[in-house]
Amino acid sequence: MPRLKRIGITVKSAFDHKDEAVERVIEVLKKEKCTIFVDTQRLKGHPCIRGCETIDEKQHLDLLIVIGGDGTVLRSIRELKNFSMPILSINRGTVGFLAEIELREADRVLPALLRGQGVIDERSILMVEAVRGRKTIFSGVALNEAVIAQGTIARLINLRTSVNEEDLTTYHADGLIVATPTGSTAYSLAAGGPIVHPGFGPAMILTPINPYSFSQKPIVIRGDSRVEVNVHMKVRKFADIEVNLTLDGQMYIPLQNGDRIRATVAKQTVKFLRMKQETFLSTLRSKLKWGER
């Protein structure tokens, strides 16, 4: 890898000792003679960013450093305009499945990564559309998952699902999760879905949420597939049923009866800067406590 010189920094909106964390990273970048660009929306007024430039979508950056947890990484990906730029996640959250290093490691590890001693880990993302009639009412990307679910009262909804225009099933359930391999350790796992190694390649995992039928189990399908989910609600008596499309737990789009959700694996990938190629199995051991008695 070439040396990384133009570095952007974004952070979690609120966490303890934010100034100290950002200042620590900036000190390393200055020692490495990097040009520093900061997310002034989330660091406005912080003295540690004096002399830094503001991140602008027109600028070319060699690397985006994200200080926070997985939620901050997901937000940053949603705001990305240039998917060729790699991301380095410095954990200041909780579990941090997407994090590469802890803040305490920055002084030691960050200089080596900036000097080109890291590797790029590419992750597939979903392209998701919501269609109402002939109109696309929403289009966006998700690294972890897209979820179609009801959230107001305990009433099941019908989600007629097809893959490549061939009927799969109608899920009579609380909802349906369409996840990437990266998202297999997130909501899909909590709903009973399988863990899929991100090195498996592009794929989609369909995981029903509390299905009425015991035979409707999670399924992993090819990444070049096209999934379409048609929303059907019985609204005669329970007219207040709300169904939403949620992307990565952060974007919420209200749906109506008859709306269609289309999901494909995007041509772009999200690139993470890693210290070494294989980290997923060690992540399972450390984050999910595998191997502990």
Task: Tell me the pTM.
Answer: 0.90
Counting Cα atoms < 13 Å in the Cβ hemisphere of 172 gives: 5
Tokens 């890693």 identify what position?
274
Q: What gap in Å lies between CA 267 and CA 83, rounded to an integer? A: 10
What's 31's domain CATH number?
3.40.50.10330
**Structure tokens given for 144:** 């972890």
Q: Where among 78, 95, 117 does a domain terminate?
A: 117
Residue of 125, 284, 266 whose CA lies nearest to 195: 284
pLDDT in tens, 12-70: 887 777 888 899 999 999 999 999 999 988 888 778 888 888 888 777 899 999 999 88
Amino acid at residue number 17: H
Catalytic positions are 70
Residue of 88, 122, 72, 107 whose CA lies nearest to 273: 88
Co-location of 143 and 104 in the same domain = no
Q: Does 47 reside within a domain?
A: yes
Q: Quick check: 101 and 91 in contact, CB under 8 A?
A: yes
Co-location of 107 and 200 in the same domain = no
pLDDT on residue 277:
61
pLDDT in tens, 237-279: 555 678 999 999 999 999 999 999 999 999 999 999 998 766 6
Q: Quick check: 197 and 183 in contact, CB under 8 A?
A: no
Q: What gap in Å lies between CA 172 and CA 156, rounded to an integer? A: 6
- Name the residue range of residue 75's domain: 6-117
Q: Where among 117, 152, 186 does a domain terminate?
A: 117
Q: Does 74 reside within a domain?
A: yes
Co-location of 234 and 154 in the same domain = yes
Residue of 270, 276, 283, 280 whose CA lies nearest to 73: 270
Co-location of 31 and 86 in the same domain = yes
Total Cβ atoms within 10 A of residue 258: 12
Q: Does 278 reside within a domain?
A: no
pLDDT in tens, 88-125: 999 876 666 788 888 899 999 999 999 999 999 999 99
Co-location of 147 and 97 in the same domain = no
**Structure tokens given for 279:** 């980290």
- Residue 102 backbone zone (phi > 0: left; psi -120 to 50: alpha; other: beta): beta
Co-location of 63 and 130 in the same domain = no
Co-location of 108 and 146 in the same domain = no
Bridge partner residues of 193 (DSSP): none
The whole-angstrom distance between residue 67's C-alpha and the CA centroid of its chain comes to: 15
- The answer to whether residue 166 scores a pLDDT higher than 70 is yes
Between 234 and 160, the higher pLDDT residue: 160
- The answer to whether residue 140 scores a pLDDT higher than 90 is yes
The whole-angstrom distance between residue 238's C-alpha and the CA centroid of its chain comes to: 33
Average per-residue pLDDT in the chain?
89
Q: Where among 61, 94, 117 does a domain terminate?
A: 117
Co-location of 30 and 109 in the same domain = yes
Co-location of 147 and 259 in the same domain = yes
Helix (H) or strand (E) holding 206: strand 203-209
Q: What gap in Å lies between CA 76 and CA 65, rounded to an integer? A: 10
Structurally, the chain folds into a number of domains equal to: 2
The mean pLDDT of 218-240, rounded to a whole number, is 84
**Structure tokens given for 131:** 């269609």
Co-location of 89 and 194 in the same domain = no
Q: Does 287 reside within a domain?
A: no
Tokens 């595998």 identify what position?
290
Co-location of 154 and 95 in the same domain = no
**Structure tokens given for 149:** 């679910």
